[in-house]
Structure 1
């Protein structure tokens, strides 16, 4: 009988540990894939195989990006980041878990869709990953398959009030899906925009010869996001289903969420860095440059941004995800040069989420605790991964980021690792940078070196939401 291989021991010492409850001084001992102990600074844990000096740096749980679209088909194009390139870029930015979206096509089943996305991701990911499910065809069969998805570790289901003729669900279909989710303990995620009204506005713009990218924003006004968000909340109240609003961008939608949460409803929402930093002005850039910034919901006027930052501080916005869905400007985005409705919707961002939110800390918009909470701890609790993920505690996975809060960097296509030919934040100077990243105890980023491998990441079956009231 052969002896098992010795467990690798790593000590991260001298840093300030960040938690959702606040910062504190501690050293972190890792044994194998998990955290063995948080030690008094300077305490000697015995023999270790590797020491990581974190003096002057933060030590925080690896980020969880709960909204990505790797290799997703959209409007005749495919998101250009594969699970290999996208998860590697995520690791460079301090994200150690993604939750992606298998996209059910009309006339297909949920299980076959899930199988297809497992085939794309298995053996390709540099970090751990899980799945939500896009439910675009609500019928008796797919409602039954929602139960099967739960057995396979997928308990969150995304529906669309936008994109008639493709992903759109009627209020009746949404009601049926919410009824099922409430019964089986699932979570409904909602893309809340009034797609019927938006299509009318878009057709009117095109008929008037207005084809440029800024029309994407002007024909999807914030009032229609607010209306759809309110309607989704009312449907959830009727069915008693928990509701998670994805990529919230407008203060009208945030007001509806805040009202529901004040009333004690199980309503949650995320926003994305692009809505905190970019605006309608970017969509209006000349020479078709605005196409780089086409996403849905669209970028809003800058006046919405203070409300979103406040929502993050008050927990009316619980999570920051990226909705990472990259399309190259010189290829896929060109499909809409003569018609803004044909521009593939999506902005790259999986690599920059942690840095951009830390910039919010630098600017006084967020505390260190809320930075960690919105980027790691609450996503873990929201999507059934806590305490395995989202916290530095004995027994948790050793997903750890050593972060240098004093380092400066300039975001650029010339230095990012995403598989896309532009940066939405080109030339933006930020303070703070990832120094070292561990995924389940293995160093995947060390300084300017990628030390990971594409087969390292494991699939994460998820439990139910841990934040229900």
Structure 2
């Protein structure tokens, strides 16, 4: 008879496909059996009346990172990973951000060292690429991809980080060749800059004008543009933090045409609206993020896009800037909407908000919740089947959910270091009561037990869009070869110059 170090018995196992009654047997850091009526292990957890799900994976969060404007977030790897664990997330993938003139290799090495010393849960990271010189793209980036960092992010806005269309083509060509997924912050920088300058010149400086300056058309245009650039090479792209109906429609149309474009959104776009930016005084600064909060019609469009599969993942975009001179209010009450740090915290609240507003409200099923918060992340970013599954052979990363537990979200009881939550006072139904990371019970009924640095680096394999891709078109073949200096006559690829 198999001996288990840990068993979880009596619960309903929830996967991205179905919900079924089974026990889960764990040895060391792996799941070894999922079956009815397993014997008790050395440690035995009764999950009767609860769901046993794969731990959440958050593939878009900002941890111990300097922003383009120079702001440092409130959370380091320790506090962020502790907050994630309390919210049912067992792996995070934040960003090692290259700023202008920095070595991408050194940025990555330094960032990994911080995670290795502090994280209490398993981790990886994406790169943020802001330079496109030969050393960055063809040496450092390639080295990182081949070492298991198989995704990276680029910006189409923020003067301190953005790349132009010419640079984007260089980036996409390398990604297509090396089979790395490009994540894109898609907003038209010049539109935002023009509107912002006009607003400031007319004395409109309050937080609510942040939303005005990041007009929906800027998101829609940039989304369309990067999809077309990616089609030159038939390269997959993932549009992060989608907020607007125009962008959703553009992504959906491209998918129907066969383009490999994917999308992500975040809980704050699903449960908050732009009205929050118009609170008295500077309170609206707490709700300024990019892209900004939209209206109720955008919320409805996002929920439909999740249901219809146009968007594949829900991440927190956790950006924990304090409501003081270190983040949101660098110039106190005189801070304009262009001077404040962009972003809001949400790492711990991500899963409870989506469970409450999605599952409990009837907008999605339990399997859809599991897919959007864990399994799709694992597949998209090359972590499957090790992560995102409750099945033999997978890592024992599990969140046990009480679907009826009611919790009022309060900054005072959450575990990040921001000092406020944009979801203050919201009541959620459904909460993870026990969290298992690599076989370790690190959260149980509010008690926390994990040491800094006990999380592990997880190298990632080929992202899902490259695993069973559609055939590369003659156009894509020609321009991929052209980027590598290998293209012969266009007709040799079945692609005729016109």
Report the TM-score, using the length of structure 1 for normalisation: 0.96
Q: Which moved more, 1:459-468 or 1:128-137?
A: 459-468
Residue in 1 that maps onto 2:479? none
Residue in 1 that maps onto 2:225? 231
Matched, 1:410 2:404: no
Residue in 1 that maps onto 2:152? 157
- Mapping of 1:149-188 within 5 angstroms? 149-164=144-159, 166-188=160-182
Moved over 3 A (4+): none
- CA distance, structure 2, for counterparts of residue 52 and residue 168 of structure 1: 49
Q: Is the 8 A contact 1:7 1:32 kept in 2?
A: no
Matched, 1:347 2:344: yes
Residue in 1 that maps onto 2:492? none
- CA distance, structure 1, for counterparts of residue 461 and residue 343 of structure 2: 29
Deviations, residues 260-309 of structure 1 (Å, cap 9, x unaligned): 11122211110000100111101111111000011111111121001100
Aligned partner (choices 45, 68, 76) of residue 61 of structure 2? 68
- CA distance, structure 2, for counterparts of residue 44 and residue 51 of structure 1: 11
Q: Is the 8 A contact 2:3 2:41 kept in 1?
A: no
- CA distance, structure 2, for counterparts of residue 461 and residue 109 of structure 1: 21
Aligned partner (choices 16, 32, 36) of residue 12 of structure 2? 16
Matched, 1:130 2:127: no
- CA distance, structure 1, for counterparts of residue 454 and residue 4 of structure 2: 16
- CA distance, structure 2, for counterparts of residue 302 and residue 453 of structure 1: 42
Shift of 1:8: 6.1
Deviations, residues 422-452 of structure 1 (Å, cap 9, x unaligned): 1110000010111100000000000011112
Deviations, residues 180-232 of structure 1 (Å, cap 9, x unaligned): 11111111110000011101111111111111001111010111100000001
Aligned partner (choices 239, 256, 259) of residue 262 of structure 1? 256
Residue in 1 that maps onto 2:328? 333
Give the match's secondary structure for 2:59. Answer: strand
- CA distance, structure 2, for counterparts of residue 134 and residue 70 of structure 1: 13
Q: Is the 8 A contact 2:54 2:388 kept in 1?
A: yes
Shift of 1:76: 2.9
Deviations, residues 387-409 of structure 1 (Å, cap 9, x unaligned): 10000010100000110001100
Aligned partner (choices 284, 297, 301) of residue 290 of structure 1? 284
Deviations, residues 321-360 of structure 1 (Å, cap 9, x unaligned): 0111101113321115431101101110000111011011
Shift of 1:123: 1.9
Q: Is the 8 A contact 2:98 2:129 kept in 1?
A: yes
Shift of 1:7: 8.5
Aligned partner (choices 375, 387, 394) of residue 396 of structure 1? 394
Q: Is the 8 A contact 2:236 2:465 kept in 1?
A: no
- CA distance, structure 1, for counterparts of residue 204 and residue 345 of structure 2: 26
CA RMSD of aligned residues (A): 1.3
- Mapping of 1:357-436 within 5 angstroms? 357-359=354-356, 360-436=358-434
Residue in 2 that maps onto 1:313? 307
Q: Extract unaligned runs of 5+ from structure 1.
A: 1-5
Residue in 1 that maps onto 2:110? 116
Q: Is the 8 A contact 1:330 1:421 kept in 2?
A: no
Aligned partner (choices 421, 437, 440) of residue 439 of structure 1? 437
Matched, 1:58 2:65: no
Give the match's secondary structure for 1:172. Answer: helix
Q: Which moved more, 1:275-284 or 1:328-337?
A: 328-337
- CA distance, structure 1, for counterparts of residue 12 and residue 124 of structure 2: 29
Q: Is the 8 A contact 1:175 1:235 kept in 2?
A: yes
Aligned partner (choices 143, 146, 169) of residue 141 of structure 2? 146
Q: Is the 8 A contact 1:294 1:346 kept in 2?
A: yes
Report the TM-score, using the length of structure 2 for normalisation: 0.91
Q: Extract unaligned runs of 5+ from structure 2.
A: 470-498
